[in-house]
Structure 1
């Protein structure tokens, strides 16, 4: 393949090829963990959505699988299959070595962790109990002995994800520093697990003890300034609404309708449409933009301004 055509390939595809090469060379053997999404973002300098696409593609090809409590590992056969899940039941794998084929090896927590790994890699849109069962190499019915239904499983996934994120200690910090720390924590959770963003803006949001805990702590910070619980909840709702909205905007920028997960690739591919004569006439300002927005930078700027604007609402309550 020529160098120009190689550069034209999507970034995720080049990274997939690189990991396949490590498997073929023996650098990564059966049962070895492959680079996580965070490691991929650091090593190749790509967005989290691109890293997620890499893992998803490797799994669809049959090169890797999820082992609950371990992570994503190279399957027992170093040669990937082009058919997702093919040869899974006839081939010894790292999953089977650790978990076995028996339903007895299942547990609620193992199912939850496998489900989180699936949606981290593939998103929540097509998530199903059947998909988790496929990853765990068990029957779908076997899962129902530990989780009641899909909603029960998703609630457990959210609870586990939030608890393991370890909400920061707010300590004796002033209200502004404490709230900023709390909101940045929420932002980090969303950026690591984009599927949570989609669930947070549904008509019937999932509420669990772990998701309510941060709200309670933030409200305590605000009521300590003399505000009523009602005012505290209003402030928290404004802050979390901003965070949810920015995180959702991040999904739009980093994984637009074309499903191409790398924002810079998508942007530059379409830049000629905007910078051409028709684009300049219809969108004279947009056509002069040189790069996609940095969502993390914009979030930080917006949060600072938002906290400024909320100061009278929080501090003014003490004088009422």
Structure 2
């Protein structure tokens, strides 16, 4: 039976995922085709395609030419692939004689069908905390683009489907990762003495968290927030700092969330910069130098079209680093909140 929450593609994917984890769809078995999904659930072909793509990204299924989409871990096209055998041992994937390298911690077992990858002991020690910690480590080192349920399972030396006994899917994994990231740097036990210091303390802590985990900011949503208690504590603390100052509930909540959204919006560039530096091999400063003054002058130093840029180029160097923008923006937002508090105080006097 399909769960009632989520989009149609998410609900169908959840049902097929349940069947796979429960063993109703055994390793190597074909999963419903896109056409079958459209017929069985009455959805469009685009939705059916999303379902199979989602399961493929999670490492639960794979496409086999001439066969269709099958559950990972079965015997397909002559390759022996077994999943989840006896407790304490797990054969994750099989390769023929030309198969790829064995993952760290794996044990090669030779057989008539080729080389099997066997790992012992990983399943017994698998916990939700270990899964989340491994996922955070992948995202910290390589970004969210490298994160998948299959990748986490590989790093832990277990079968991908084993993860689903502890974490329902990647969306829930991201929520748990978010909560861990916020929880590892807790708020001060004692709130600040003044409202401005209180909000600044929360904002600076969030900035440090985003800097430590560059992937985190891109997972945050201020229109569809997820239930992450340790992240919610930041909003709670910010609103508490504003309590008793004459602001309405709307104003307290909006001030707390707007400040958090500013910090998050600027912190998104941490991951972008990390990826850009990895791709180009240049830091932000090196990239600016690499542009060349000739191209810069030609494009930006047209006094008629860019009079401000032209004047600025003749003065001292301007600091537009993320740190400088954070400091300036946070101070100006707090100035604005202070103005609102002053007005409410004047109106009540």
TM-score (norm 2): 0.58
Count of matched residue positions in the alignment of Structure 1 and Structure 2 = 231
Measured against aligned partners, the alpha-carbon deviations of 1:226-274 in whole angstroms (never above 9, x if no partner) come to: 3222210011122112112221244445544983362122222223463
What is residue 271 of structure 1 aligned with on the other side?
Answer: 292
Contact kept in structure 2, 1:182 and 1:218, CA below 8 Å: yes
Q: 1:106 to 1:283 in 2, by over 3 A?
A: farther
Q: Which has the higher strand share?
A: 2
Provide the aligned C-alpha RMSD in A.
3.1
Note the C-alpha offset of 1:212: 1.0
What is residue 111 of structure 1 aligned with on the other side?
Answer: 131
* Counterpart among 140, 157, 160 of residue 140 in structure 1: 160
Contact kept in structure 1, 2:132 and 2:176, CA below 8 Å: yes
Higher normalized contact order (CA 8 Å, seq sep 6+, divided by chain length): 1
What is residue 89 of structure 1 aligned with on the other side?
Answer: 106
**CA–CA separation in structure 1 for the residues paired with 2:219 and 2:193:** 31
What is residue 202 of structure 2 aligned with on the other side?
Answer: 182
* Counterpart among 130, 150, 169 of residue 170 in structure 2: 150
What is residue 224 of structure 1 aligned with on the other side?
Answer: 244
Contact kept in structure 2, 1:158 and 1:208, CA below 8 Å: yes
* Counterpart among 331, 337, 348 of residue 304 in structure 1: 331
**CA–CA separation in structure 2 for the residues paired with 1:84 and 1:249:** 35
**CA–CA separation in structure 1 for the residues paired with 2:193 and 2:204:** 15
Q: 1:252 to 1:150 in 2, by over 3 A?
A: closer
- Higher mean displacement: 115-124 or 171-180: 171-180
Q: Which has the higher helix share?
A: 1
Q: Extract unaligned runs of 5+ from structure 2.
A: 1-99, 109-118
In our comparison, the structure showing a higher alpha carbon Rg is 2
TM-score (norm 1): 0.63
**CA–CA separation in structure 1 for the residues paired with 2:295 and 2:107:** 52
**CA–CA separation in structure 2 for the residues paired with 1:185 and 1:191:** 10
